[in-house]
Structure formats: C-alpha cells, structure tokens
Amino acid sequence: MAQQVQGVIAPGKNEPVRVETIVIPDPGPGEAVVKIQTCGVCHTDLHYKQGGINDDFPFLLGHEAAGIVESVGEGVTDVEPGDFVVLNWRAVCGQCRACRRGRPWYCFDTHNAKQKMTLLDGTELSPALGIGAFAEKTLVAAGQCTKVDPEVSPAAAGLLGCGVMAGIGAAINTGEVGRGDSVAVIGCGGVGDAAVMGARLAGAARIIAVDIDDRKLETAKKMGATHTVNSRTTDPVEAIRALTGGNGADVVIEAVGRPETYKQAFYARDLAGTVVLVGVPTPEMQLELPLIDVFGRGGSLKSSWYGDCLPSRDFPMLIDLHQQGRIDLGAFVTETIGLGDVEQAFTRMHEGDVLRSVVVF
C-alpha cells in the first residue's frame, strides 16, 4: 500500500520551499523504503532550489540522511527492515569496468529507485541526489543504504552521506595524505573542514587552513588545522610556501570551486605534491596557466568525486572512529531544526553562520 508522509519540496526555480504531502509507493524489486531520522541541509539542496542543477522541478529535497529501513522489495538481501542505515547518492552496479577496477565512484551504471514518489495529484517528484530525505520516509534503491552501528547519533552519521564524506575522502582517499605530510586546505566550509579532519586522521604534521573569513578559520582550528591564513589579507601561496620550508604543501585540497582558488592550489603544492580538487566550478569558469608551469611542476592534479568513497567500506569505518572519539562528526552539526525550517536554514547557510543545520524527525 502506498503511504502518505510529509516532505519538503522545491516547487519551481527560486520559489520558497514548502512542506507537502508526498506519496511513497511500496518498494519494488531492488528498492527500500527508509524511515528518515535526520537529514542535513547541504548547499546542493539550495542549488536544486535555485535551478542550478537541472530543471526537473518539483524536487523532493534532502540527501544527507540516516534512518531505519522500513520495508524492502524483491531480491534485496544486503539490508532488511529494522537496519540503521546511512544513505548515499547512487547504488553502483558492481559489474562495469569502473566497478571491476575497484573505482565504483566512476560506475557507468549507477542507479536510484526506479519507481517515482509523487504529490497527491500524481505529479512526479525528482529526489535530490536520488534520495529526497527531507521527508518522514523516502524510497531509494537498496544499494543506496549502508548499514552502520545503530548506537551512533543519527545526526552525526547522516552527514557522512555527502559533504563530510566528500571532504574526509578528499584527504584520505583521493589525496592519500600520509603520516608527516604537510597539507593545505583552501576554503574551510563544511567540506574543507572535513578535509582538515581527514588530514589530521591520516597523520599530517602540518595542516594549513586558508579562507577569506576569520570565523571559518577559527572552526578549522577546532577541526585540526595547525596554521591559518586569511587569503583576503595575505597571499596564500606565499604563506603556504613559508610554512613548508619554501617548498609548498605535499597535498593541497581546494574546497571552493573558483578559478582563483584552483590557481592558488596549483601553485601552493610542492613540486612533487598532489592537488585535490573537490570544490565544484560552474560550467563557464576557465583557468589559464602558463604551459611551462604545467610542464615544470611534477606531482599530480586530481579531482575528487564524493571523496572517492566506497560507502560500504568508508561509512562504517568513519563511524567506528567517531564512536571511539578519534574524530568528532558531531562537530559539523551547528543546530537541529524541524521540517518546516529548511527555508530559514538556507538563509543562515548563505550568511555563513552554520556548518550544518540538521533536520531531526
């Protein structure tokens, strides 16, 4: 029997979001219905609302979520009703060339639930990042559910579903930060702060946080930054070089997504260092570089997609570390809010006062 729940939709470009009744079908083959416990408010939700991702309105927003599996469809064996799970963007196929080469984050055949959730009048909803978890329940592909330790705080666990995983993974998976490395993180919002946390976890000796906002630099220190640079007043490339014996950092993580910060990352690395690009640029942005510098600098330039994570490997591991007190995922939760407060949370996010507002059901 299809069921009706409350969820937050973005009805049209730049229109305020609102709570509506959502119709959720029973899970079909390979699908699961999850009762959501918490869902973080991410920039990507705001981008959906602004029409910056695509025009498939109305969207059912929310995608950084944890909850309990309520029911599963035919053929689902990895999770069962009652399991506590963190949701991820897409289920991977496990069969394609990327999956077989151990890089499922580049899977050619990822998928979400096949059936659609709708409004009461039958209008089909597009779930944000294939999830749609600003809702009491949501329908996903069962492969989007990763079972984790049910003792963990759901608000902390849910954040692994997106930004925090992207940042930690940029450091530990893509950047392969090693013991004793020097790491610079340019842009210390939620993603950059998570990269700082990942660098500390990996044993980096120096972690240089760069931002244009002093409030962000203070938070980055709490996450593990050993040095901070305000790039509004100080040239970050020179500052990073000065803090690394004139060499540049072993790993530079860019978490803004702008030409000037891509360029800073390029020049702030050690000649044999790695640049990890996790900030997402817009399609029209361009970067011009002297080819001699591209040729003359060794090392590598990598982009990081969802922190190059393997949810089944990384979510339980990070939750274990959190439960042991070795990382604090709760540090990203600035406030908990209700389903009706999402529009206001977007405003606060825009003003830069919060790392994460988390909707709690």
**Interface residue list for Zn ion (CB under 5 A):** 42, 44, 92-93, 96, 99, 107, 109, 162
Q: Confirm if 158 and 318 have CB atoms less than 8 A apart.
A: no
For residue 186, state whether it binds ligand APR (rule: CB under 6 A): yes
Segment near ligand APR (CB under 6 A), from 55-63, 131-139, 275-283, 294-302?
Answer: 275-283
By the rule CB under 6 A, 169 interacts with ligand APR? no
In sequence order, the 6+-apart residues with CB closer than 8 A to the CB of 313 are none
- Between CA 220 and CA 147 the distance in angstroms is 30
The token duo for 16 is 């305020």
* Count of C-beta atoms within a 10 Å radius of residue 216: 20
- Which of the listed partners (Zn ion, ligand APR, none) does 260 bind, with a CB threshold of 5 to 8 Å by partner kind? ligand APR
Least distance to ligand APR from the beta carbon of 181, Å? 21
- Specify whether the CB–CB gap between 170 and 163 falls below 8 A: no
Among 279, 308, 331, 361, binds ligand APR (CB under 6 A): 279
For residue 221, state whether it binds ligand APR (rule: CB under 6 A).
no
Binds ligand APR (CB under 6 A): choice among 126, 138, 261, 357:
261
Question: Which residue of 15, 149, 214, 260 would you call a contact of ligand APR, by CB under 6 A?
Answer: 260
Ordered alpha helix ranges (H), the chain: 43-49, 97-100, 154-158, 163-169, 190-201, 214-223, 236-242, 259-268, 291-296, 311-323, 342-350
Rounded CA separation 170/157 (Å):
18
Q: Which does 19 bind (CB under 5 to 8 A by kind): Zn ion, ligand APR, none?
A: none
Which x/- pattern, by CB under 6 A, does the window 113-152 give for ligand APR? ----------------------------------------
Q: How far is CA 290 from CA 237, 261, 280, 293, in A?
A: 17, 16, 22, 5
107 is in the binding site of which of ligand APR, Zn ion, none (Cβ under 5 to 8 A by kind)? Zn ion
Q: What angle do CA 276, 278, 281 make, to 5 degrees?
A: 120
Judged by CB under 6 A, the chain residues 228 through 247 that form the site for ligand APR are 231
88 forms part of the interface with ligand APR (CB under 6 A): no
Binding-site partner at residue 162 among ligand APR, Zn ion, none, CB < 5 to 8 Å by type: Zn ion
